[in-house]
Amino acid sequence: MATYLITPQPGEYDPYYNRYISLVSTTNINQTLERQISDTRALLSGLTEREGDFCYAPNKWSTKQVLGHLIDSERIFAYRALRVARGDRTPIEGFEQDDYVRNGPFVRSHLADLIEEFSAVRQSTVYFFRDLDVEAWTRRGVANNCEISVRALAYIVAGHELHHRKILAERYVGMMGKTVNG
């Protein structure tokens, strides 16, 4: 059971993902991943179903769709990390996030169920990363036509959640409060 204590370096991931990795300000990624469960739950647990359907602008995802996107993306990033950590050198294809949201069940789902699903998926991710040995953290593979390390994937998971939690707090929960409070 190792916690990898070195932040991913350029060259371990596609530069696109720096937008997420740069948001993670810790070197104890396992603690960060675990703490994010309660942080996200705290942000969303008090919302009503109606607030789960809220979109802050036309053609934007609802609160539930953003949460569904987090769930799906985490599953994909964790799957990539699993394959790379286990030494699978087969290139892994990319995915189109808008198709996943459009074809996902999120608009029909209950917000409380999505919050529980996020927690369960994240707990599974925490267990996976927590049990990696030092060598697995530095293994590299190819995903979406770019080389990536396992530790970069862990930081991407955490940073992606931070990115979307900030958007949820500011553009969803924050705007709902403005609407309610006038």
Q: Where are the domains of the chain?
A: 15-181
Average pLDDT over residues 45-74: 97
Q: Give me the mean pLDDT over the 118-127 stretch.
A: 98
pLDDT for the residue 2 = 55
What are the tokens at 61?
Answer: 């995802």
| CATH code at 15-181 | 1.20.120.450
Least confident among 57-66, 116-125, 155-164, 169-178: 169-178
Q: What angle do CA 160, 43, 103 make, to 5 degrees?
A: 55
Mean pLDDT of 58-85: 98
pLDDT at 6: 82
Question: Residue 69: its pLDDT value, please?
Answer: 98
pTM of the model: 0.93
The pLDDT assigned to 176 comes to 79
3-state secondary structure the chain: CCCCCCCCCCCCCCHHHHHHHCCCCCCCHHHHHHHHHHHHHHHHCCCCHHHHCCCCCCCCCCHHHHHHHHHHHHHHHHHHHHHHHCCCCCCECCCCHHHHHHHCCHHHCCHHHHHHHHHHHHHHHHHHHHCCCHHHHHCEEEECCEEEEHHHHHHHHHHHHHHHHHHHHHHHHHHHHHHHHC
pLDDT at 4 over 90: no
